[in-house]
Amino acid sequence: MNIRSLQNQFTLILCLVLSTFTFKVKCQDIQFSQFYAASLYLNPAFAGSAHADRITFHQRLQWPALEAKYITSYLSYDRYFEKYKSGFGAYILKDWQGKNYINSTEAAIQYSYEIGLSENLALRPAIQLGLISRSIDYTNLKYPDQFDDQGLTGNPTNDPHYNSNRKTFADVGSGMVLYSRKIWVSYAGHHLNRPNQSYWNESSPLPLKHSITAGYRIEAIKGDTKNHMGYATQSLYLIPTVQYKFQGKSDQLDMGVYLFYNEYVLGVWYRGIPVKKYNSGLQNNESMIVLAGWRIKQFRLTYSYDFIVSKLKTARPAGAHELNITYIFNKKKGIKKLKVLPCPEFH
């Protein structure tokens, strides 16, 4: 066997290994550093939580310095119906992975219902119905029947596994949030129907994703006057938050704090589980995240950046950028203050 054939076979093995790795990676859901900014994706119980019509656009660019970067776009709309104590929401999400070889499109509708447990406590259960479509481009991969003793033949593969490269399936989720005027805790479960995500006639159920979030609002300085935009001046409050999620064999912890001052917000988080190790030489650290934001009337703008602290930083992937643009229409009058969640939704 000549050198060229050896090189071709090495390329073949490498491609197969990478494609196998890709199939496993796609089983895990997309994540956002600004998880409260994409609130409907986080938990369907947040549908209608602003008690006003709300439109959100969110963009994430992960590892832009690498050729195989990840790009995710998200758009949502939700509103609250006071008469029925109900929130309705819908979102669509598009994700491109690894030079656009793998594409995912998700769309969902949501319904939440608000239950007043007491004067100071409320519960919002919710359900979500969605549709997920995934596709993979095999044209740049090479397979055994495309090689002979002379190397790559250039003929298309005859393997029936690669004749179909799209999978569409229904998806079911649910969630709830329990909250008072200063504290909240929420749970969301996604893929409750365990949809089969295999491109072929095989069994590959999508693992359930569980996420738990909580926070507490600390009002350090309460503003007593309002500026020309209607916001309390000299108002300062902190919101420490935590999120824990797990899916299959993977889990992750985000913890940090928001600082709100008048119409500005700053935030910092750590992502990882410092007490857990993948093995004796690999600590479970991922990122440090910083955020800055600003609001003017109904318009909100926030930007965050992920600083990688894991061993991946040696590859210099350039972290991750996230941009959130939210527009909240004028809130309806007559809504009790308790019913508006104290979460850091920046309104």
Q: Evaluate whether residue 345 is within a structural domain.
A: no
pLDDT of 225: 59
Q: Evaluate whether residue 71 is within a structural domain.
A: yes
What total of structural domains would you count in the chain? Answer: 1
Q: Evaluate whether residue 346 is within a structural domain.
A: no
Measured CA to CA, the distance from residue 313 to residue 318 in angstroms comes to 8
| Burial (0-12, 13-18, 19+ Cβ within 10 Å), 319 | buried
Q: Evaluate whether residue 12 is within a structural domain.
A: yes
Q: Evaluate whether residue 347 is within a structural domain.
A: no
| Burial (0-12, 13-18, 19+ Cβ within 10 Å), 31 | buried
Query: Measuring CA to CA, how many Å separate 261 from each of 128, 150, 215, 230?
Result: 34, 69, 18, 14
| Regions of the chain with pLDDT less than 70 | 1-28, 100, 139-143, 145-146, 154-164, 223-234, 277-283, 331-339, 343-347
Handedness of CA 14, 19, 25, 31 (dihedral sign): positive
Q: Evaluate whether residue 177 is within a structural domain.
A: yes
Q: Evaluate whether residue 344 is within a structural domain.
A: no
CATH number, domain of 227, equals: 2.40.160.40
Q: What is the pLDDT of residues 230-269, one digit of tens each?
A: 555 667 889 999 999 999 888 899 999 999 988 899 999 9
CA end-to-end distance (rounded Å), the chain: 68
Segments forming the whole domain that contains residue 264: 3-339
Q: Evaluate whether residue 67 is within a structural domain.
A: yes
pLDDT of 263: 85
Contact 116, 110 (CB under 8 A): no
